[in-house]
Every structure is written in C-alpha cells, then in structure tokens.
Amino acid sequence: MIHVNEPLLIGNEKKYLNECIDSGWISSEGPFVKRFESEFALTVGRKHAVAVSNGTAAIDIAVEALGIKKGDEVVMPSFTIISCVNYLAKIGAIPVLIDSDPITWNMDVNQIENKITSKTKAIMVVHIYGLPVEMDLILDLAKKYKLKVIEDAAEMHGQTYKGKNCGSFGDISTFSFYPNKHITTGEGGMVVTNDPYLATKCSELRNLCFKANQPRFVHEDLGWNYRMTNMQAAIGVAQLERLDKIVKIKRKIGKAYIDGLKNLTCLQLPIEETGYADNIYWVFGIVLKDNVPFDAKEAMKKLADLGIACRPFFWGMHEQPILKKMGYFKGESYPVCENISRRGFYIPSGLALTDEQINTVIKKVHEVFDEYC
C-alpha cells in the first residue's frame, strides 16, 4: 500500500530531540518552544507567535482572544474541517457559511458581502489544499464593515499570496503541525499576530490563564492546557530549517501528477496557478466529473484495491449531523461544496513519496479511469 502521507524527517530532528532528552527539558518550559515561536514568526512575517498543542487549539484560542461571544456571527466556508466551527458552536456563536469556488475549492469571496449583517464580528478565512483564498476583497470588506479576520493557514506553510506570506493577513492567523502538514511536530499548532495584546491573551489562554503579574495558582480567567512541549518544538525547529526544500518537493510531486494525469479529461485536477499564487499542493486533490458513473467513495475503494491509499475531501459544515442537531443551517444548501465533498478525494501526497511510488500511483489512477476519459 502506498500511504496517503508519510512525513520526511531527515534534518536535525534527532539531534534536537537528543538535546531535549540530554538536558531534561521535555516540557513546555524548554528553550526550543521560544526558539520555534521566534523563528516561525520571522518566517511568516509576524511580530508574535504562540505555540500550542494542535491546530484546533490554535483556532479555539484565536476565537476566544478576539472576544467572539454567543450570538455573534462569523462568516466562513462550509467546505472546511470541523475544527473551524467547533468552538463557535460550543459558545453559541453563529457560523454563516459561504459556498466554494468550483475551480480553486476555496470559499467564493464574491458571496461574502451579502452574508454580512449587524451581528457579524469576523470573517474566518480557510486556505484549502494548496491555493490561498483571494484575500484582497476580504481585507477590503473587513475594513469597510470593521470586522476581524481569522486566517486559518493550517495547510499553507511556505505559501504566499501576491508575494506575501500566508498567515500574515489576519488580525490573528493559525497553523497546524499535524504529520500531514509541510512542517510537522507530530501534533502541534501556532497562533500568530502583530497585536501585542492578542499575543499576550493567546499566551495566557494556552496556559490555564496564568498571569505573570499574579500569584501562581490564582486565576481571574479560564483557559486551556494547550501547551506545546519542548520535544515537539525541537522537531518544529528542525522542520522549519528545511521549509524551502519542502515546498520544492511538494511542487515537484504536484507537477509529476499533473503531467501524468492531465490526459484524464474526466477528472478535475488542481489548477497549477492563479493570478496571485502558484499551487503548493498540500494534497493533490481530484474531483470526478459528471461522466464518471460513481462517487469518490467508490473511486477510493477501487484505488485501495490496487494498493493506493486515498482520503475523502472535507464534508460540508451544513451537512454535519452534530451541527444540524444543534439547530444550525436549517434548509441551507451549498451546491459546489456538496459536489466536491461527494466527488472529491486526494491521492498519496506525502513528502516521503518516491518517484517510483508517484509513477505507480499515476499508473493505477489510469487503470481505474481510462475507460471513462
């Protein structure tokens, strides 16, 4: 089986982990945490970075730090991971959904303004699968309506929008370091911002709201234990050192798949570039066109039988059973999201893929789809 993702740990990961073990600094108090934060902030072009336990934690903290409360509306895509709506639903905020652009699979920015009301407090941007959201209109709308921007750049390590780093656009931006991300710490995340107040607030929230100017174990607010360990940060530092090479590997994989699959006209492949970014191919997604007589679930089964592991696309927030049970999104439909959720999947895209494995994947995809294309 060729797996969907296998991380590439060929830099200083072992060396830095051994430093943690030899020094005894394995918890969140260790020096690699601050080093990772400062180096990551510099890489992204931010003044402040706060390392946390995972990408979901980063979003939770970002929402709380911005003061979003029950009844507040947050405009966001339906096509995303449930992490983005998780904390909003828990506090009784109202996610206001936007359908996807059928070409980039990102939120359709032209639909946003019509969804803004007097209750809207923020726009949550989620860059999807390798291409950034078109940010100019979103930033203009945020300024016009005095809205905050939360930028989920979990899949965008090393990506840019018009030459500016993804993760540098929001009032607050978040990253994930799950093993399938360009930079991994096993689990882990980062919150980045230029606002010193938000940075301090995020630092407190990730650490049970301990405050520097108060006696220890005396708390005025509630937070989480969302700390990153020194060992995770050590791996992150090593990964960050290789970011430029990692991006080149991802784009090489993407180009190989484009070249090998472009003749399969029954498949919608990722676009290679837009006017504002070149695809970074966090994953290599495929959407089945209408002339393929089965859906993504069946396609993935056929490929799995041939030794190729795949994963489905995100399932739209408006179709999530738990959110519908909670009373969200009654009668709402987002046809592009619904189509790509049912007919989209991605093939092996991990950094450790060999040329031989890529060629095998291409061959097996042809075996499944040649007769329909």
Confidence of residue 212 (pLDDT cuts 50, 70, 90): confident
SS (H, E, C) 36-79: HHHHHHHHHCCCEEEEECCHHHHHHHHHHHCCCCCCCEEEEECC
In this prediction the pTM is 0.96
* CATH code, domain carrying 145: 3.40.640.10
Residues 215-260: tens digit of each pLDDT = 889 999 999 999 999 999 999 999 999 999 999 999 999 999 999 9
Q: Pseudo-torsion of CA 167, 269, 319, 70, nearest 10°?
A: 10
Residues 265-313: tens digit of each pLDDT = 999 999 999 999 999 999 999 999 999 999 999 999 999 999 999 999 9
Q: How buried is residue 174: exposed, middle or buried, by Cβ count under 10 Å (0-12/13-18/19+)?
A: buried
Do 36 and 157 sit in the same domain of this protein? yes
Instruction: Write the DSSP string, 159-186.
Output: -EETTEETTSSSSEEEEE--TTSSS--S
Residues 20-58: tens digit of each pLDDT = 999 999 999 999 999 999 999 999 999 999 999 999 999
How crowded is residue 222: how many other Cβ atoms within 10 Å of its Cβ?
Answer: 9
Do 91 and 217 sit in the same domain of this protein? yes
Instruction: Write the DSSP string, 284-331.
Output: EEEEE-TTSSS-HHHHHHHHHHTTB--EEPPPPGGG-HHHHHTT-STT
Do 153 and 235 sit in the same domain of this protein? yes
Count CA atoms closer than 13 A to 288's CA, side-chain side: 26
Q: What pLDDT was estimated at residue 88? A: 98
Q: How many domains does the chain have?
A: 2
* Token pair 């709201």: residue: 209
How crowded is residue 259: how many other Cβ atoms within 10 Å of its Cβ?
Answer: 10
Q: What pLDDT was estimated at residue 200? A: 97
Do 259 and 216 sit in the same domain of this protein? no
Q: What pLDDT was estimated at residue 307? A: 98
Average of per-residue pLDDT values in the chain: 97
- The percentage of residues in the chain with a pLDDT greater than 90, rounded to a whole number, is 98
Judge whether 30 lies within some domain.
yes
CA atoms of 261 and 258, how far apart (whole Å): 5
Degrees (nearest 5) of the Cα angle 338, 325, 73?
A: 75
Q: What pLDDT was estimated at residue 213? A: 83
Instruction: Write the DSSP string, 343-366.
Output: HEEEE---TT--HHHHHHHHHHHH
Do 168 and 27 sit in the same domain of this protein? yes
Write down which residue in 224, 240, 256 finishes a domain: 240
Q: CA 12, 6, 103, 324 torsion: positive or negative? A: negative
* Token pair 């290599």: residue: 284
CA atoms of 125 and 112, how far apart (whole Å): 11
Do 80 and 229 sit in the same domain of this protein? yes
DSSP character for 275?
Answer: S
Do 265 and 356 sit in the same domain of this protein? yes
Judge whether 4 lies within some domain.
no
Judge whether 2 lies within some domain.
no
Calculate mean pLDDT across residues 144-162.
98
DSSP character for 25?
Answer: -
- 214: pLDDT strictly greater than 90: no
Q: What pLDDT was estimated at residue 98? A: 98
State the residue range of the domain holding 319: 243-372
Tokens of residue 74, six digits: 């947050």
The answer to whether 29 touches 233, Cβ cutoff 8 Å, is: no
* CATH code, domain carrying 353: 3.90.1150.10
- 187: pLDDT strictly greater than 90: yes
Do 261 and 218 sit in the same domain of this protein? no
Question: What are the beta bridge partners of residue 178?
Answer: none
Calculate mean pLDDT across residues 118-125.
98
Residues 122-146: tens digit of each pLDDT = 999 999 999 999 999 999 999 999 9
Judge whether 31 lies within some domain.
yes
CA atoms of 57 and 224, how far apart (whole Å): 9
